[in-house]
Amino acid sequence: MSERSFGDQSNWDSGAERLDYLTDPPSSGEQSDSHRCPVGGCAKQVPDHMLMCGRHWRMVHPNLQRRLYAAWARGAGAGTEAHAEAMRECVDEVDWKVGAEAKP
């Protein structure tokens, strides 16, 4: 019985978690430069420059990923309608895939 599987943790993720333990934990548990993965049922904290956790990001179609990168424009496009729409479509697609896997 392993309480935790490290096999599916990506490197950047475990590194970030380790740093968290070394520094004082924020009382609220929330950091200004990270947010929760927007995919339904996912509780991973994601850095703000990424839309969702790596595992779910890999489920986004490459065409959509490219569209989001183009709309994001390294931060210049943040908050624009094109960016918001691309984000919504990415989350929708992964949400749909996750839901389809859960109940076939």
Positions in the binding site for Zn ion (CB under 5 A): 37, 39, 42, 44, 53, 56
Pick between residue 54 and residue 77 the one whose CB is nearest to Zn ion: 54
Pick between residue 10 and residue 80 the one whose CB is nearest to Zn ion: 10
Please give the single-letter amino acid code of residue 79: G
CA dist 53 to 1, 41, 81, 93, Å? 26, 12, 22, 14
How near is the Cβ of 19 to Zn ion at its closest, in Å? 20
Helix axes 62-72, 81-102, angle to 10 degrees: 150
Please give the single-letter amino acid code of residue 32: S
How near is the Cβ of 34 to Zn ion at its closest, in Å? 13
CA dist 36 to 7, 31, 41, Å? 21, 10, 10
Pick between residue 50 and residue 76 the one whose CB is nearest to Zn ion: 50
Pick between residue 40 and residue 76 the one whose CB is nearest to Zn ion: 40
How near is the Cβ of 32 to Zn ion at its closest, in Å? 20
How near is the Cβ of 76 to Zn ion at its closest, in Å? 25
